[in-house]
Amino acid sequence: MKALNSVKAVFPSRSVNEGFARSVVAAFASTVDPTVDELCDIRMAVSEAVTNAIVHGYRDTLGMVYITVSLYPGGLLRIKVQDKGCGIPDVQKAMEPLYTTCQTGERAGLGFAVMEEMMDRVRVKSQVGKGTTVTLDKKLTTRGE
């Protein structure tokens, strides 16, 4: 299936850029006039995915976060958040609610659970030492539906 429209953004893995990423994706999604609830879901899921890339993917190093947002026929919005950080050794385990590798107690381990609640589909591909790609799909209510 070919995308009707697409946009890419690349930015350093600084926590200050999480809000930027959320806004860019929401602005792109707004072009098809989704509901307010859909926009809130998208913003929350993107926030979690980008935060994971910054906090867990790059840990205490600086790298780049790559986002691609595409709109497909039928109102399907697909968001890919990619890092080239440390990767996830066990994706299935990492996606379990309350699982975290954070030793400081600052992280609740709910990022993937939140993404799954807000989006229609969440896929995670990761390779240790090469990075992680989180793909988020959401079927939007578009005008006339």
Any idea which residues carry the catalytic annotation?
Answer: 48, 52, 107
CA distance 79 to 46: 8
DSSP 6-23: EEEEEEES-TTHHHHHHH
What single DSSP character describes residue 74?
G
Is residue 71 within 8 Å of 6, Cβ to Cβ?
yes
Which of 131, 124, 99, 119 has the alpha carbon at shortest distance from 45? Answer: 119
Closest Cα partner for 56 from 5, 6, 94? 94
